[in-house]
Amino acid sequence: MSRVKILTIALFAFPTFAVAQEPMPPGLYTAGTDIASAMAAAVAERSSMAASRIEVSDHYRINLIRRTQAAGAIVHRPGTELHYVTEGGGTLVTGGIVVRPAGGGQGNIQGGLARQVTVGDAILIPEGTPHQYTAVEGSITYLEVRFNVPIE
């Protein structure tokens, strides 16, 4: 029997796999006033790095992040990350390796690429790439979108 016939039979004989998944909503909406209120509460609680959660699922995470000071280096596995700067600016280092001080504490990036980022800049940080805001000019706010989509 040809492969085409086998595939055709399989598709019609087992259609339930296509409808077994819960349908995605036609869109997700979060009002700007809700995001602003959540950010104000987060800033009141922790002013150096505040996050307003917009949406979280098994495949992505969307937050509005506000930083007022430099932070240690981080690496996300799994997950590619997008930062879109909406306010302020600073220095973002990507790539290189994370070097941690003896005895623990926050690490820093060695050998990475430093960029000045400001309003309107978009930065895509691939999975497993070290990244770190090493300087903040007053404050920086950015939309953070993390994609954790399985590789097919």
Which pTM does this prediction carry?
Answer: 0.77
State how far the Cα of 105 lies from the Cα of 7, in Å rounded to an integer.
56
pLDDT of residue 152: 47
What whole-number distance in Å separates Cα of residue 28 and Cα of residue 15?
28
Q: How many other β-carbons are positioned within 10 Å of the β-carbon of residue 86? A: 15
* Contact (CB, 8 A) for 40 and 93: no
Ordered per-residue pLDDT tens for the chain, 152 residues? 555 555 445 445 545 444 455 676 787 788 888 888 888 888 888 878 899 998 888 888 899 999 999 999 999 888 899 999 999 999 999 999 999 998 888 899 999 999 999 999 999 999 999 999 999 999 999 999 998 855 54
* Dihedral pair phi/psi, residue 130, rounded to 5°: -60, 145
Domains in the chain, start-ordered, CATH in brackets? 29-147 (2.60.120.10)
Supply the pLDDT for residue 7: 47
